[in-house]
Amino acid sequence: MPNPGDLKYTREHEWVRIEGDTGTIGITDYAQDQLGDIVYVDLPAVGAALTYLEKFGEIESVKAVSELYSPVTGEVIETNAALADNPQLVNDAAFGEGWMLRVRLTNAGELDQLLSAEQYDDFLVSEPA
C-alpha cells in the first residue's frame, strides 16, 4: 500500500495526519507488515502528555513487542477504543481504522522535521529489510 501523501512520517514508522491543531497518529503499513499479526496495543490514556520522538506506548505482534514513538508533542484527546478488542485493525488498515491516538498539538514548529511521504519512501528503500 502506498504511503499517503497527506501524512507526515517518522523514521520509527509512525504517521501523523495534521488537521488544524489536531494530529491523528498511527503506524505505517510497512511497519504492520514487518510486525505481522498485531495482538495488543498499549496506548496512553486521554490527557497524557506526548513528546516528540519519545515513547508513547507499545505494540505487540504474535512474534515480538515494539515501542511506539510520538511524531508530535501534545496532549492525547482520544484513543482508538476499537483496538482493544480488535488490534488487527492495525494490520487491516494501518492508515485508516487502525489509527491509535488523536492529539492536540502544542508545538507546530517541530512538524517541519517530519518526513514527507516521498522522503519516507526513500527512507524505506535505504533501510535494510
Alpha-carbon gap, residue 88 to 10, rounded angstroms: 22
40 touches another protein by CB under 8 A? yes
Instruction: For residue 61, state whether it binds another protein (rule: CB under 8 A).
Output: yes
E-assigned strands of 10-127?
14-19, 22-27, 38-42, 49-50, 55-61, 65-69, 74-79, 101-105
Query: How far, rounded to the nearest angstrom, does the alpha carbon of residue 83 sit from its chain's CA centroid?
Result: 13
CB of 105 to another protein, least distance (A): 28
- Does residue 127 belong to the site contacting another protein (CB under 8 A)? no
Nearer to another protein, 45 or 109 (CB): 45
Contact residues toward another protein (CB under 8 A) are 34, 36-37, 39-40, 42, 58, 60-63, 65, 84, 88, 91
